[in-house]
Amino acid sequence: MVIDDKLRVGIIFGGRSGEHEISLLSARSVLSALDAHKYAVTQIGITHQGVWLVGENVLDAFNQDQKKDLLPAALLPIPTRNDLYAIRPTQYGEIIELISTLDVVFPVLHGTFGEDGTIQGLFEMADLAYVGAGVVGSSVGMDKGIFKDVMLSNGIPVLEYAVVLRREIENDMGAVIAKAEALYPYQLFVKPANLGSSVGVSKCRNRSDLYEGLMDAARYDRRVLVERGVNAREIEVSVLGNDDPQASVVGEIIPSRDFYSYEAKYLDDRSELLIPAPISEELSQRVKSLAVQSFKAIDCAGLARVDFLLDKDTNELYLNELNTIPGFTRISMYPKLWNAAGVTYPALVDRLIDLALERKRERERTVRRYNRV
């Protein structure tokens, strides 16, 4: 449904995640790319506490931490009405009022409660078109341990790993350290299983590093991944599509720091992006093939950035992770790789919205009631 020939798009950003601030950066770029002649846009910000807010210039209000003039909002999981409501105080109490009926939502939400299948479940209950992977693809892509299990079952190479729980770290650190050290000799990496942007990731060269890394990662998630470290080149490729996904040009990141940490990604500008990556055509095709294979294996949709590690010592290639809502600023790797393939940033945003509507039409083909013949 459209009004004045414009598609009504809700852009959702912020969220209850350690990647809240990165989401605001991505949302700024997406909003600037949307053609005002094609789209009627509603900005929806989600606070660190999980409150949905609407109003005038929501993104600016979030960036300036001036939210007092914004109103709480709610999207109801009613399939027949894709309505966004504001909750407005009056002298008689709170009332709800319609803000907009949405045709499609574009969640620019990195990390927990945005990239992990939770908000996608709400969109599914509301029978609303949305950009990106569904519940299964989002949740499996988010959890690094489960994702690696699925990759192994599909014959896709990953580094040796183990998953430990926060409770184990708190109750018996000695046993956790012994389990980690049995995995592989140092160096090891420790990561929250369900987070991105390198938040809570530690490179551990000894037992002291490992102890600190486990404690830090457990702050961000109840599941913590311990993984063998390699002397690696960081290779990335972008995937776009639904049932017939395509891979972009392959790129390489030269981190400004010891590894591609949060600081190297966002707080300095010294990391290098090499596009295309200086690798052989044969290796480039293998990266693309494995990326598409992994995308299909978790039933991903819309977009994903797939990250690989190329061992400098053995030249072995390992799939590291798949990000279902990757960083989406104009200088992020995902859009830059597609730009190198001839797809501009505005065209990429248009294509993602088209893919969301395509997937909604596909869902509508599913019979929801059993009729005896």
CATH of 141-155+231-361, one of 3.40.30.10, 2.30.30.40, 3.30.470.20, 3.40.50.880: 3.30.470.20
Query: Averaged over 298-307, what is the pLDDT?
Result: 98
CATH superfamily, domain 161-228, is ATP-grasp fold, A domain (3.30.1490.20)
Per-residue pLDDT for 206 more than 80? yes
* pLDDT at res. 1: 47
Distances (CA, A) of 270 to 260, 263, 353: 11, 10, 33
Band of pLDDT at residue 261, cut at 50, 70 and 90: very low
Per-residue pLDDT for 192 more than 70? yes
Per-residue pLDDT for 257 more than 80? no
Band of pLDDT at residue 262, cut at 50, 70 and 90: low
Domain ranges of the chain: 2-130, 141-155+231-361, 161-228
Exposure of 21 by Cβ count < 10 A (0-12 exposed, 13-18 middle, 19+ buried)? middle
Per-residue pLDDT for 264 more than 80? no
* pLDDT at res. 40: 97
Quote the CA–CA distance of 53 and 22 in Å, as a whole number. Answer: 18
Quote the CA–CA distance of 49 and 295 in Å, as a whole number. Answer: 31
pLDDT 10s digits, 358-369: 999 999 999 988
* pLDDT at res. 373: 67
The alpha-carbon radius of gyration of the chain (Å, integer) is 21
* pLDDT at res. 271: 76
Predicted structure pTM score: 0.91
Q: Which helix (H) or strand (E) holds 100?
A: strand 93-101
* pLDDT at res. 301: 98
Band of pLDDT at residue 370, cut at 50, 70 and 90: confident
pLDDT 10s digits, 6-64: 999 999 999 998 889 999 999 999 999 999 999 999 999 999 999 999 999 999 999 99
For residue 371, give the 3-state DSSP assignment. Answer: coil
Band of pLDDT at residue 258, cut at 50, 70 and 90: low
Architecture of domain 2-130 in this structure: 3-Layer(aba) Sandwich (3.40)
* pLDDT at res. 210: 98
Query: Averaged over 125-153, what is the pLDDT?
Result: 97
In sequence order, which ranges of 103-238 are alpha helices (DSSP H)? 118-125, 135-142, 144-153, 166-171, 173-183, 207-220
71-75 vs 188-192, strand pairing mode: unpaired
Band of pLDDT at residue 5, cut at 50, 70 and 90: confident
